[in-house]
Amino acid sequence: MIFFRWIVGLPFAALITAGLFTLMAALIDRPSVDLVEPQENAKIQILAQKRPPLKPLPTKPNDLVKDPPETIIPSAPPQGKPKGVRVGPPQKTNPVDLTRDRGRIDTPVIKHAPPYPEACRGRAAEGGVLVQFDVTPEGSVVNIKILETADSCFNRTVRKTVSKWKYPPAYRNGRPITRYGVIERFTFQLTD
């Protein structure tokens, strides 16, 4: 079988090689074509063009520009801004019941009260926010949901504050578990 491939393949390869050499020779021997005289090339200017001279500045007092007219801005009506802000302490309501598993909900190790939002100060908004979240086995707060809110301007501050809280791990059968549905209430009040 190998012998047959050599007998057929070698003459076929030699034939193709000879044909390629003949084609290349024909391409090289083409009669020369008269080329058209090249046209004048486009000129490219790289240097910047000269700018027209600037107008001279006025030197006489009459030529100087006069001061613009005074703009009168009316004062804002008094809004009775509060002297201080008091944020009520967070109140825990309806903790997750783990008594059947002999677990308990502890208060956070790291717990900050949310500051009164500046966006709510202009509206003089007051009221409460009820928030629900889950606590991971590592003690981080996740899946924060606002259940009730007196004013939507409080929501962002509450979410940001609660996300920074840290809880001690809850255990079930000696293993840390995730606590679901922990609820906290915040009360925002302006002080006089």
Superfamily of domain covering 84-191: TonB (3.30.2420.10)
Terminal alpha carbon distance of the chain: 107
In this predicted model, what pLDDT tens digit does every residue of 54-74 receive, in sequence order? 776 656 555 555 665 666 666
Beta bridge partners of 127: 188
Q: Which residues contact 158 (CB under 8 A, 6 or more apart)?
A: 114, 129, 131, 146, 186
Please list, residue by residue across 57-67, b when 16 or more beta carbons sit within 10 angstroms of its beta carbon and e when fewer do: eeeeeeeeeee
Q: How would you write 5-52 as a 3-class SS string? A: HHHHHHHHHHHHHHHHHHHHHHHHCCCCCCCCCCCCCCCCCCCCCCCC
In this predicted model, what pLDDT tens digit does every residue of 150-175 receive, in sequence order? 888 888 888 999 999 888 888 888 88
- What are the residue ranges in the chain where pLDDT is below 70? 31-39, 42, 45, 48, 56-106, 192
* Tokens read off for 117: 């939002």
pLDDT of 93 = 47
